[in-house]
């Protein structure tokens, strides 16, 4: 018990969990103040904490409309929380340390290794520098492009503000938007369903934020190294496959649905299908009314949200690499192979066990929360499952039930977003006792499988 209160002996996962929790609590306190709301009134603390959680965990589910409920200071707080949550508070701390020319200690490097989901500390500070440079550059370019486009719809100052807010939100895969202030709450990007610039810039921000900083660094250095790591190859190939398959499935399922793709021309159908395939990669923006999608499309979206983004990124879910390992295990078993081989590399058994553990813990969490919410919320099962998976995958897509959640529902979804951002395995390591290596092995036993 003493070691729990001795911060100097805390493990990196415990420090990460505590750091994110403190950011959320402080953010919730600030957002509950009158200056943070457009009406100049106190916001119920549960809604303020929910908003702080969805921003810090870069999810996008909101109980109050961001554009109309919050004042400009409140929106700036939300944008700051998104940036802190997307890049990670340790990354931001490292930025200040680099600016102040302070030395990064071994303990801080261990925490950064855990935060970036790296297997070693080698080159971790160099990677953090690249993460900060790439992120700020991409957000700036995206913000400028958005500002140019929206300057035709609103005053230039507001267009610049909107551009930077949404560039930060979409790159960090938060999906929180401000368009509700134009009279229709929770509207997202539905008014831009046929706009190529808004769609393409948004999708590029989502994809670059979702593939992970390790892959980004690999791509940037490709001209020099002329090679990609196994991790980057797996992430890029699986990301491309999921987006392509998702586009085709959504296009086929929704082609004749007059409430979604049916009313669009061919170009609009393809663009909207592409966008709705990209956004479940933990982004949360949408150009179609999700509640009007057919149930088959909604369930397929749930699968995409559960898979999520890639390791070391701003997104959640079980991650593309975990899904790839699971597929590889199935293929290897069906072919009678002993090893999982990807791009001519054999995977270590510990990687396979970790993928199975993450998947089972994640599936258990989604099932448990869905069962409880099915009791506390008077909503259709598909809507509750959709909401839970969206929270776990830190996606932010909803079928419209978030503002109507009960107190228990808001707390459960907040905890699910928190678990989804940090990862069930990290939480288990943080909350569980330290385990020591066993000095012996039990004799092998045999059971019948299948």
Confidence bin at 435 (pLDDT 50/70/90): low
**With 60 as the cut, is the pLDDT of residue 114 above it?**
no
Q: What is the Cα 281 distance to its own chain's centre?
A: 7
Residue 4's pLDDT is what?
44
Q: Which residues contact 308 (CB under 8 A, 6 or more apart)?
A: 281, 282, 315, 316, 317, 318, 319, 320, 393, 394, 395
Place of tokens 């690249």: 130
pLDDT exceeds cutoff 90 at 257: yes
Kindly report, residue by residue over 368-396, the tens digit of the pLDDT: 999 999 999 999 999 999 999 999 999 99
- Model confidence band, residue 112 (pLDDT cutoffs 50, 70, 90): low
CA–CA gap between residue 206 and residue 311 (Å, rounded) = 14
Q: pTM of the entire structure? A: 0.88
| Sequence-separated (6 or more) residues with CB below 8 Å from residue 24 | 49, 52, 53, 56, 57, 418
Q: In the chain, where are the structural domains located?
A: 7-431
pLDDT digits (tens, 9 = 90+) for 344-364: 889 888 888 889 988 999 999
Measure Cα distances from 119 to 122, 216, 401 in Å: 9, 17, 39
Q: Which neighbouring-strand residues pair with 37?
A: 70
Check pLDDT > 70 for residue 426: no
- The arithmetic mean of pLDDT across residues 117-123, rounded, is 55
Residue 86 pLDDT: 81
Contact 206, 395 (CB under 8 A): no
pLDDT of residue 3: 47
- For residue range 197-249, list pLDDT tens digits in order: 999 999 999 999 888 878 888 888 887 778 888 889 999 999 999 999 999 99
């Amino acid at each position: 018990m003493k070691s729990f209160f001795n911060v100097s002996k805390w493990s990196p996962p415990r420090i990460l969990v505590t750091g994110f929790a403190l950011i959320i609590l402080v953010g919730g306190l600030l957002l509950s103040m009158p200056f943070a709301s457009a009406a100049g009134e106190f916001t119920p603390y549960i809604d303020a904490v929910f908003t702080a959680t969805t921003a810090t965990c870069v999810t996008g589910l909101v109980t109050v409309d961001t554009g109309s409920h919050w004042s400009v200071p409140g929106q700036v707080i939300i944008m700051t929380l998104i940036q802190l949550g997307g890049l990670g508070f340790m990354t931001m701390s490292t930025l200040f340390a680099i600016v102040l020319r302070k030395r990064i200690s071994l303990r801080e490097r261990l925490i950064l290794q855990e935060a970036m989901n790296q297997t070693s500390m080698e080159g971790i500070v160099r990677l953090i520098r690249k993460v900060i440079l790439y992120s700020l550059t991409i957000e700036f370019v995206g913000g400028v492009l958005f500002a140019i486009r929206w300057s035709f719809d609103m005053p230039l100052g507001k267009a610049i503000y909107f551009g930077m807010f949404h560039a930060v939100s979409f790159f960090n895969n938060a999906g929180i938007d401000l368009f509700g202030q134009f009279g229709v709450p929770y509207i997202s990007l539905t008014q831009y369903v046929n706009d190529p610039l808004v769609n393409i810039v948004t999708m590029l921000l989502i994809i670059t934020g979702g593939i992970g900083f390790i892959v980004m660094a690999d791509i940037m250095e490709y001209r020099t190294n002329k090679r990609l790591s196994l991790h980057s190859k797996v992430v890029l190939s699986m990301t491309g496959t999921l987006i392509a398959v998702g586009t085709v499935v959504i296009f086929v399922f929704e082609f004749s649905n007059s409430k979604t793709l049916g009313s669009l021309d061919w170009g609009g159908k393809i663009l909207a299908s592409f966008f709705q395939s990209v956004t479940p990669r933990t982004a949360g923006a949408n150009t179609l009314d999700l509640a009007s999608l057919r149930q088959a499309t909604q369930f397929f979206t749930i699968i995409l949200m559960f898979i999520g983004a890639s390791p070391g990124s701003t997104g959640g879910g079980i991650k593309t690499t975990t899904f790839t390992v699971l597929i590889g295990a199935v293929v290897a078993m069906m072919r009678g192979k002993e090893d999982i081989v990807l791009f001519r590399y054999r995977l270590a058994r510990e990687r396979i066990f970790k993928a199975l553990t993450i998947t089972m813990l994640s599936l258990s969490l989604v099932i448990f929360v869905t069962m409880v919410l099915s009791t506390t919320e008077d909503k259709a099962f598909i809507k509750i499952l959709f909401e839970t998976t969206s929270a776990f995958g830190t996606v932010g897509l909803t079928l419209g039930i978030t503002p109507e959640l009960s107190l228990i529902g808001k707390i459960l979804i907040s905890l699910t977003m928190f678990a989804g951002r940090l990862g069930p395995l990290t939480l288990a390591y943080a909350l569980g006792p330290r385990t020591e290596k066993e000095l012996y092995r039990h004799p092998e036993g045999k059971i019948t499988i299948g």
